[in-house]
Chains A and B, each alone.
Chain A
Amino acid sequence: MNSQPKPAVTPVEAQSAEHKEAECAEFQSHMAERIGAGENLLDDPHLTDCERCQRLVEELAAIAQAARLLLPVEEEPHEDLWEKIQRAITHESA
């Protein structure tokens, strides 16, 4: 084997990168319907092999986790609201 300097991206690599893009697009475009059908995508062979799609799945999980941890922050309603509710209760009971 000759040890010639390798170009940054060989045609074979470029072709396989393109192929990979197509595989990822295919996998990702069907995620919603497959999840809806009750499939466990974590068992999918593409996901086992593909770092990019693994990262996507991790990021979606991270978003859900961030929402759970960050967002149940409780805000205060306007202080007049109780007055309004009281008036409505009185009106209803009259």
Chain B
Amino acid sequence: MAPETKQSDTLTVGSNPPAPEAEAGCSPRFHPDPADDSAAQILERAQAGDHTAFSQLYSLHKRRVYSLCLRMVGNIAEAEDLTQEAFLQLHRKIATFRGDSAFSTWLHRLTVNVVLMHLRRKGLNLISLDEALDTSPDSGPVRSFGAQDLRLTGTIDRMTLEKAIADLPPGYRLIFMLHDIDGYEHNEIATMLDCSIGNSKSQLHKARMKLRESLSTKLNAEVLP
């Protein structure tokens, strides 16, 4: 399951999942002493209704959940509201977690669902993603083919990429994020967004094309004053 592999990608760029003890200072009201707690024990206690354990669970997973929300909505205030909603739902549902999948995968899915519900409420019609995107003025024939002789490989830095992703239309951003960053498969995305697998594949291609165009412009602007 792809969100599992994401963990190793995260390791690649040098941000290890936090150890509970490193997080103790971030839970101002509770002062857990988790030195001997394994993640499994914390989870078990949180499932049994232990509030201290739940705060430890928050400390362990807050970055992943918040970062996911932030990438999906691109707005700090909304991302914090959604993080809150995700942990509230976690609190309500945690007893139902049966351990068939890894907890982090389960929580990832729960969070994605919270964000998708929010986006639907906001009026982003995920079902008719295609129509919504295909009528945009930019989706005509490819404009950038051959226009740049820019080798993108090896020249993309995180800030430029983040900016380019933030500039994507919401539907494209969502598909790109779910597939290329969070590692969901097309069949999973199709289920989540209630669209066809083909739709997910073609939208991902269009999203990458749009990113390439945007990156070419941004990287060229850096080179040429």
Contact = CB atoms under 8 A, between A and B. Distances in A.
Interface of A: 21, 24-25, 28-29, 31-33, 35-38, 52-53, 55-56, 58-60, 62-64, 66-79, 81-86, 88-89, 92
7 contacts: A36-B198, A60-B205, A68-B183, A71-B161, A77-B79, A82-B62, A83-B28
B153 interface: yes
Contacts, number: 148
Interface stretch (B37-45, B65-73, B99-107): B65-73
Contacts of A60: 205, 208-209, 212
A75 B88 contact: no
Contact of A68 (B26, B62, B83, B180): B180
A27 to B, nearest CB: 9
Given A74-B10, A75-B66, A29 B141 contact: yes
A37 to B, nearest CB: 6
A87 to B, nearest CB: 10
A88 B66 contact: no
B156 A62 contact: yes
Given A25-B142, A36-B198, A62-B156, 17 more contacts: A31-B209, A36-B199, A36-B205, A64-B208, A67-B180, A70-B13, A70-B157, A73-B67, A74-B63, A76-B66, A77-B80, A79-B26, A82-B28, A85-B87, A88-B88, A89-B88, A92-B92
Given A28-B145, A82-B55, A72 B6 contact: yes
B184 interface: no
Interface of B: 6, 9-10, 12-13, 15, 26-29, 51, 54-55, 58, 62-64, 66-67, 70-71, 79-80, 83-84, 87-88, 91-92, 141-142, 145-146, 151-154, 156-158, 161-162, 165, 176, 180-181, 183, 198-199, 201-203, 205-206, 208-209, 211-212, 215
A79 B29 CA distance: 12
Given A25-B141, A32-B206, A86-B29, A66 B66 contact: no
A40 to B, nearest CB: 11
B181 A67 contact: yes
A35 B162 CA distance: 25
A46 to B, nearest CB: 12
A35 B64 contact: no
Contact of B84 (A24, A37, A38, A81): A81
